[in-house]
Amino acid sequence: MNEATMANENVSVIFKVYCLTVMTLVAATYTVALRYTRTISTEELYFSTTAVCIAEVIKLVLSLGMLTKETASLIKLKATLQEHIFCSPKELLKLSVPSVVYAVQNNMAFIALSNLDVAVYQVTYQLKIPCTALCTVLMLNRSLNRLQWFSVFMLCGGVTLVQWKPAEATKVQVGRHVTPSWLLSKPLLISCDTTSSKLTFILKISLIYKLYHLFCSSSLILFSQIEQNPVIGFIAIAVAVLCSGFAGVYFEKVLKSSETSLWVRNIQMYLSGIVITLIGVYMTDGERVMEKGFFFGYTPWVFFVVFLASVGGLYTSVVVKYTDNIMKGFSAAAAIVLSMVASVILFGLQITMTFASGAFFVCISIYLYGLPKQDTSRLTWKDTNLEDKQKLISV
């Protein structure tokens, strides 16, 4: 067992749970927010390629900050960057592979959510879990027992059940918006504004009220009529699924095959990612960006999506470093259940038997996958059953 593996095992369980929890919460809001920004307007729609590029820049800045904290010295930071960045072209080239694949995946997500409803996207995108499991077996030579394979496909079935009713409900005219529940109703906002001056003052200075009022106002806006092509959306998801499985496992292999710092690996990958995404901006939207500007169509919601993409990417790296890609997939599936629960609270979605069954299957599959494997090399005489003992004695 190498030192990198021992370091992974010594990481606090609380830290792992924290990273998985944050990643789950980010994933629970990212898809819905991204879909919202891609459908609310057609005349001033931002360029998705620029959003992917900005996210890479933010990830690089955050990774540099974390590396600075890790080295705790500007001299050590300079030496680390000199050794692993400026004097390691082979390592940069090695990390450019997942950079290209991740760039394609992120752009495919924007294309898919521009052409498909959130529920359809979330269901289909869960195909990345068996894809990741297959890549794990092929690329990392890591075996999965029958129970783990069963839990992987149980997860996909559970997520499908959770999304089954919403998937049928999305077959409505494009441009219609979900009716908010009473919690987000306009009369409630008006009643809050017309209460006593003291209570109104307290509510208005509250950050929760500010966010609540902003979200409610936005939720009452009707989506613009947009053209959607489901075929393009499904093709984009298929490409994203393949990219997610390959790039995630490739990056996991690079991370766990050496003692190089996680943040150094991130910097190497994000440097390549910035160059690649800039090329994508130039090739895809170059003329329009020159005409309208790099930040054309950006709103607070777009910046929020970029922020979620950046933070989610960093936590994904941490999860891959200290757990594995399949656990990352299970975290994303749990995020879907959370997003559906949020829909119940915010939009008055009714919980059906299929939703309850799907949520149950997801939870059970997570538990089954997390069961430890039995190490047969460490079995003692007491662990051997009576029949096996008799066979050994007879020999």
Instruction: Tell me the C-alpha distance between 312 and 34, whole Å.
Output: 13
Instruction: Tell me the C-alpha distance between 29 and 304, whole Å.
Output: 10
CA distances from 20 to 15, 272, 370 (A): 9, 26, 13
pLDDT of residue 201: 46
The better pLDDT of the pair 170, 288 is held by 288
Residue 303, pLDDT > 60, answer yes
Instruction: Give the rounded percent of residues in the chain with a pLDDT score beyond 90.
Output: 22
Q: Determine which of 58-67, 103-112, 176-185, 223-232 has the lowest per-residue pLDDT on average.
A: 176-185
Place of tokens 């920004």: 37
Reduce the DSSP state of residue 77 to 3 states and report it.
helix
Structure tokens, 29:
């809001």
What integer is the mean pLDDT of 77-87?
Answer: 88
Q: Determine which of 9-18, 275-284, 296-305 has the lowest per-residue pLDDT on average.
A: 9-18
Question: Which among 311, 306, 309 is positioned nearest to 294, based on CA atoms?
Answer: 306
The better pLDDT of the pair 71, 5 is held by 71
Instruction: Tell me the C-alpha distance between 69 and 269, whole Å.
Output: 19
Q: Are the C-beta atoms of residues 302 and 52 closer than 8 Å to each other?
A: no
Instruction: Tell me the C-alpha distance between 66 and 85, whole Å.
Output: 16
Q: What is the CA radius of gyration of the chain?
A: 24
Instruction: Tell me the C-alpha distance between 384 and 395, whole Å.
Output: 15
Question: Which among 47, 37, 41 is positioned nearest to 225, based on CA atoms?
Answer: 41
Q: Are the C-beta atoms of residues 30 and 309 closer than 8 Å to each other?
A: yes
Residue 239, pLDDT > 70, answer yes
pLDDT of residue 233: 86
Does the pTM surpass 0.75? The reply is no
Is the CA virtual torsion 315, 317, 318, 322 positive or negative? positive
Q: Determine which of 174-188, 215-229, 349-363 has the lowest per-residue pLDDT on average.
A: 174-188
CA distances from 312 to 62, 180, 249, 274 (A): 12, 28, 17, 17
